[in-house]
Amino acid sequence: MTSSIAIGIDLGGTNLKGAVISGDGRILAKRTIPTDTSRGPEAVITEMVTLVDTLLRDIDAPRSRLRGVGVGAPGPLSQTKGRIIRTANLPGWVDVPLRDLLAERVGRPVVLENDGNAAAFGEYWAGSGELRDDLVMLTLGTGVGAGVVLGGRVLHGHFENAAELGHTIVVDHGLPCPCGQRGCLEQYASAAGVARRVAAAVLDGEASVLADSIRGGAPVDSAEVARAARAGDALCRRVWEEACIYLAVTCINIQHAFNPARIVLGGGMAEAGAFLLDSVTEHVNRRRWRLHDDVPAIGLAGLGYDAGVIGAAALVLAGWPTSSEVGDAKMPQLRIPHR
The alpha carbon dihedral of 153, 323, 59, 318 has a sign of: positive
- DSSP type of residue 280: H
Q: What is the pLDDT of residue 324?
A: 41
Q: Which of 113, 43, 107, 122 is nearest to 84 (CA)?
A: 113
Enter the CATH code of domain 5-122+305-317: 3.30.420.40
C-alpha 29/C-alpha 19 separation (Å) is 5
Q: What is the pLDDT of residue 320?
A: 67
Q: What is the pLDDT of residue 18?
A: 97
Q: What is the pLDDT of residue 128?
A: 72
**To 10 degrees, what angle do helices 98-106 and 40-58 make?**
40
Can you give the pLDDT of all 339 residues of the chain as single tens digits? 446 899 999 998 788 999 999 987 789 999 999 988 888 899 999 999 999 999 999 999 999 999 999 999 988 999 889 999 988 778 889 999 999 999 999 999 999 999 999 999 999 988 876 667 799 999 998 889 999 999 888 999 999 989 999 999 999 999 999 889 999 999 999 999 999 999 999 999 999 999 999 999 999 999 999 999 999 999 999 999 999 999 999 999 999 999 999 999 999 999 999 999 999 999 999 999 999 999 999 999 999 889 999 999 999 988 765 544 444 444 444 444 444
Q: What is the pLDDT of residue 330?
A: 47
Query: What percent helix, strand, coil does the chain show, rounded to 5?
Result: 40, 20, 35
Instruction: Give the count of beta carbons closer than 10 Å to the beta carbon of residue 229.
Output: 24
The reply to whether 131-300 shares the fold of 5-122+305-317 is yes
Instruction: Enumerate the domain spans of the chain.
Output: 5-122+305-317, 131-300
Q: What is the pLDDT of residue 335?
A: 44
Enter the CATH code of domain 131-300: 3.30.420.40
Q: What is the pLDDT of residue 3?
A: 64
* Contact between 149 and 135 (Cβ < 8 Å): yes
Q: What is the pLDDT of residue 125?
A: 85
Measured in whole angstroms, the distance separating CA 332 from the mean position of its chain's CA atoms is 22
Q: What is the pLDDT of residue 130?
A: 66
